[in-house]
Chain A
């Protein structure tokens, strides 16, 4: 580091400064002063002791906050993942827990698009004691066809059957139609399910 520059024409001043800086003033009665200082020191430095752990506590608090935030983030991410996953699996009946029961609220199920014959069931589905209304909703989701159930009583019927992988909408109609008490037909994009007795 450079010392501060001084004008060159300051001969006298520099001479004085040189002499003043060369000699340190004498500290008279230095030990006496030291004793005076030591006696003046606050007795209880310990009073400041609690001040020292504070930064540590603060550090711990910050660390705990960060850890809590991290845990919350992980939990939120996990919940989000499961919710999204659940939504996705809702359109994939093979992975759905088919034991859930639901009361029918509508007589028929409808879809926007027509029944797609070329669609094959990707995996086996076992409908375990599910209402016909619930089964119809899943069939609609899989094949994109409209399922009409004649009446609420029929819609509330509970069925237990295996729907094998590779099945088409027509296969579904055949399975339903094989039930003695049910009659199922497919006409274009509409599957109609009725009670057999109703026809008789």
Chain B
């Protein structure tokens, strides 16, 4: 069944069709939320909230638009709110990164906890906006055009935030003794 038919069925209240939507997009939404929040439980909550909101608003959804972008938009907003709350807390003390950086076998599957530790360590000094742009551009490998659509920021704002984010992370790496 193609995506448009699936969405139309969801708009008619078909919960099984919506289950298919959840199954298709849950990993992508989780990945985004996890990379932004560096917390498995919080990321799962974001996934759940994203799909609840999507279900509630499914009838307003324009089927000519890609569903993934719409779900990402909801998730990004939820993550931003969560990051805003987190930013009020003090940054963690600098700790050495896991072996990941010096790992000589890049094919090794990283554990979620390893990944979270590295991202958290690198991005903890970024502002919520810088963190958002860094995650979307570098970790999710989204194009600028798509980030503009998701965040509402302009292309220049995105470039500026990304440049600042990378500088801050490089300083952090130096502080940790890696560069």
Chain A residues at the B interface, C-beta cutoff of 8 Å = 1-7, 10, 12-13, 15-17, 19-28, 30, 33-34, 36-38, 40-42, 45-46, 48, 51-52
Contact = CB atoms under 8 A, between A and B. Distances in A.
10 contacts: A1-B146, A2-B144, A17-B138, A20-B118, A22-B106, A23-B110, A33-B44, A34-B26, A41-B51, A41-B55
A10 B5 CA distance: 45
A95 B139 CA distance: 88
Interface stretch (B71-79, B82-90, B162-170): B162-170
B13 A38 contact: no
A61 to B, nearest CB: 20
Interface residues of B, number: 53
A13 to B, nearest CB: 6
Contacts of B27: 24, 27, 30
Contacts of B140: 21
Given A30-B27, A33-B47, A41-B52, A25 B112 contact: yes
A20 B40 contact: no
B35 interface: yes
B55 A7 contact: no
Please classify the interface of chain B as helix (H, G, I), strand (E, B), loop, or mixed, using the class held by over half of its residues: helix
Contacts of A27: 26-27, 30-31, 44, 47
A2 B51 CA distance: 31
Given A25-B115, A33-B26, A38-B19, A12 B179 contact: yes
B173 A13 contact: yes
Interface of B: 13, 15, 18-19, 22-23, 26-27, 30-31, 34-35, 40, 43-44, 47-48, 51-52, 55-56, 58-59, 100-101, 103, 106, 109-110, 112, 115-116, 118-119, 122, 137-141, 143-146, 158-159, 162, 166, 169-170, 173, 178-179
A12 B144 contact: no
A36 to B, nearest CB: 6
Contact of A37 (B47, B58, B101, B119): B47
10 interchain residue pairs of minimum CB distance: A1-B143, A25-B34, A27-B30, A1-B145, A24-B31, A45-B13, A17-B138, A37-B51, A25-B112, A41-B55
A28 B26 CA distance: 11
Contact of A4 (B106, B137, B170): B137
A4 B166 CA distance: 12
A106 B159 CA distance: 91
A4 to B, nearest CB: 5
A48 to B, nearest CB: 6
